[in-house]
């Protein structure tokens, strides 16, 4: 027997709940964090001060990406100049040494800046999972308000603690309204 489009059941992406204010979504985020959920997010039309701590998020890895990109650029620029002056084309000019490292500093700085810029751009895209042309939450009619005046928490079904009924009950207990199951 062949399956038709009407026979295929949609897969559950997660549960979405709306909150009335930044204060409510902040306190709800603390409660979701305390329940041990890991695959969830807060959606707001503007940044909410302290929401990272309420969600239990750690420090960003962007600082490390920027540091290693800058070091790669600086050492790459310095190494290229050293290799050119010492091995590729060693030319003694005015009795100066072949490796005048103080003269290498300005040129080493520039690739450091360039590599940092590209590293931060590519790192940000990778850490944010971009480019992402589709997200299951876009199917929700309520979610369209998040960029205007809505505050939402979405808990994904791929979370190890996810149970549809328990998650829905949790969101109701912490003050969520317009709770809906989002299908992928």
Question: CATH classification of 10-59+134-183, choosing from 1.10.10, 1.10.8, 3.30.70, 3.10.620?
Answer: 3.30.70
Contact call for residues 43 and 144 (beta carbons, < 8 A): no
Domain ranges of the chain: 10-59+134-183, 62-127
Q: Is the pTM of this model over 0.85?
A: no
Report pLDDT digits (tens) over 6-15.
Answer: 566 779 999 9
Neighbours of 5 (CB within 10 A): 5
Neighbours of 102 (CB within 10 A): 6
In angstroms, the CA 86 to CA 63 distance is: 34
In angstroms, the CA 25 to CA 42 distance is: 8
Report pLDDT digits (tens) over 17-63.
Answer: 999 999 999 999 999 999 999 999 999 999 999 999 999 999 999 99
């Amino acid at each position: 027997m062949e399956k038709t489009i009407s026979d295929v059941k949609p897969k559950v992406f997660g549960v979405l709940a709306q909150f009335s204010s930044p204060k409510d979504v902040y306190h709800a985020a603390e409660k979701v964090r305390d329940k041990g959920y890991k695959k969830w997010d807060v959606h707001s039309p503007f940044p909410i001060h302290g929401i990272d701590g309420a969600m239990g998020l750690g420090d960003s890895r962007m600082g490390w990406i920027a540091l290693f990109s800058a070091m790669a650029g600086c050492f790459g620029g310095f190494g290229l100049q050293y290799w050119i002056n010492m091995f590729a084309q060693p030319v003694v000019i005015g009795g100066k040494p072949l490796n005048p490292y103080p003269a290498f500093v300005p040129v080493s700085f520039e690739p450091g800046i360039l590599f940092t810029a590209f590293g931060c751009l590519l790192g940000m895209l990778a850490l944010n999972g971009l480019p992402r042309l589709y997200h299951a939450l876009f199917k929700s009619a309520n979610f369209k308000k998040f960029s205007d005046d809505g505050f939402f928490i979405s808990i994904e079904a791929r979370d190890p603690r996810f149970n549809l009924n328990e998650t829905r009950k949790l969101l109701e207990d912490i003050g969520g309204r317009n709770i809906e199951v989002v299908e992928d």
